[in-house]
Chains A and B, each alone.
Chain A
């Protein structure tokens, strides 16, 4: 069996169906383990007291928001280069979850910032680029929603993802640059708590949980997209008639 066969929507539809429960259950169990570490194993931070426990969710969410964007850009590039339908569908399936994690990163960042910096929001490089990342996600999803034609939508969305992927590092560095020049206005940011091994472990567990969750959700979404696009093929008709 060649790897290429997995790229056929029919095979992938069934494979994804088998994989989803594994990823979903692993994500659930890892979340429980991560929460246990976050609240019961990780010690109180001497500087930030208990408020620092937000990092167990903030940092993984921020990682995922950027990582999902890169994966979307990767699938988009593959789709544009090799004209594989499935990669466009993967890119589409990932976007809403990416936007969700970006929102979570911003929300938890604000709730962490208030007790630590005394402000809900500072125009700090990371927060600002995260906000712009959210705008990019919203733009891409809006573009997909506006284009009815499947083929055009796939390609247009991927092109926008790619130009965004080139732009995100530039935005990040320009905001850092801008921020250093506005020291007077910004609040001095307290350093992240010195990273104990158990804290790093907690963040990693939560990050893997978020990753598995993303895979599970994206696979569910991609199955729906496949069925929608392949509904005229024999195998899809069989599925639609099968479970009544």
Chain B
């Protein structure tokens, strides 16, 4: 069973390694959106530290959307997706594998870039540490929920924009708990409660969204 999962993972990572440009775009987008904010609101260090967690979290959610529209699209175009769904292996594992692969090529780079941006936003080291923790727990949620959106909008005209419209409202709890955790450590109320709620939301997404995404994928391919 998990051999199939590993096979899906390995396949997606190999494909991603061949097309480095594709997922680098999402990371550049993340950096750019975050860098535009100081230009828009002014360079005062205190204010930047105040808005930093929220800006970085919003930028991370937007960057996830950019790469999500490709999650199933390439395999759909060359027909391999249909074969994988029709194979005796469970579709849930296919979706889960693809979501994990998406997280590895989108989430891990975000985790690596975020501290640098945190310094730009004048965040303290404590805050940057919590930011990393919150992104570690939160970005998998974005990949999992995004899988549902990608499956629903598969092959539609303007699917990328529609995906944004469908999935952003579902990201709200992750955004609130994630940015709230960093805020909590900065204002001294502590981040534990936020992080545990974020973790709970991640577990819930992990349990529910692959099933819904698998159902959506079957619907879209019929």
Contact = CB atoms under 8 A, between A and B. Distances in A.
Interface of A: 80, 132, 135-136, 138-139, 142-143, 146-147, 151-152, 155-156, 159-160, 162-164, 166-167, 170-171, 174-175, 177-178, 181
Contact of A160 (B152, B157, B176, B180): B152
Contact of A143 (B153, B170, B183): B153
Contact of B165 (A142, A159, A163): A142
B177 A174 contact: yes
A142 B160 CA distance: 13
Contacts of B153: 143, 146
Contacts of A135: 165, 168-169
Contact of B216 (A138, A156, A166, A181): A156
A167 B216 CA distance: 17
B212 A162 contact: yes
Given A143-B152, A151-B222, A156-B152, A170 B162 contact: no
A185 to B, nearest CB: 11
A35 to B, nearest CB: 34
Interface of B: 145, 148, 152-153, 156-159, 162, 165-166, 168-170, 172-173, 176-177, 180, 183-184, 189, 197, 201, 204, 208-209, 212, 215-216, 219-220, 222
B183 A181 contact: yes
Contacts of B156: 146-147
Interface of B is mostly: helix
B176 A174 contact: yes
A135 B189 CA distance: 31
A181 B189 contact: yes
25 contacts: A135-B165, A136-B169, A138-B165, A139-B166, A142-B165, A143-B162, A146-B153, A146-B157, A155-B219, A159-B152, A159-B212, A160-B148, A160-B166, A163-B208, A164-B170, A166-B208, A167-B169, A170-B173, A171-B173, A174-B172, A174-B173, A174-B176, A174-B177, A177-B197, A181-B180
Given A156-B152, A170-B201, 6 more contacts: A142-B162, A156-B219, A160-B152, A163-B209, A163-B212, A178-B176
A132 B180 CA distance: 19
Interface of A is mostly: helix
Contacts of B145: 163
Contacts of B215: 80, 155, 159
A171 B168 CA distance: 12
A151 B219 CA distance: 8
A143 B184 CA distance: 37
Contacts of A80: 215
Nearest to A155: B219
A138 B173 CA distance: 19
Q: Which 4 A-B residue pairs are closest in the complex by CB-CB distance?
A: A155-B219, A135-B169, A174-B173, A139-B166
B166 A143 contact: yes
Nearest to B156: A146
A231 to B, nearest CB: 22
Contacts of A175: 172, 176
A199 to B, nearest CB: 33
A146 B156 CA distance: 7
Contacts of A156: 152, 216, 219-220
B200 to A, nearest CB: 10
A163 B173 CA distance: 14
Nearest to A153: B219
Given A175-B176, A181-B180, A139 B219 contact: no
A18 B165 CA distance: 38
A146 B189 CA distance: 45
B175 to A, nearest CB: 9
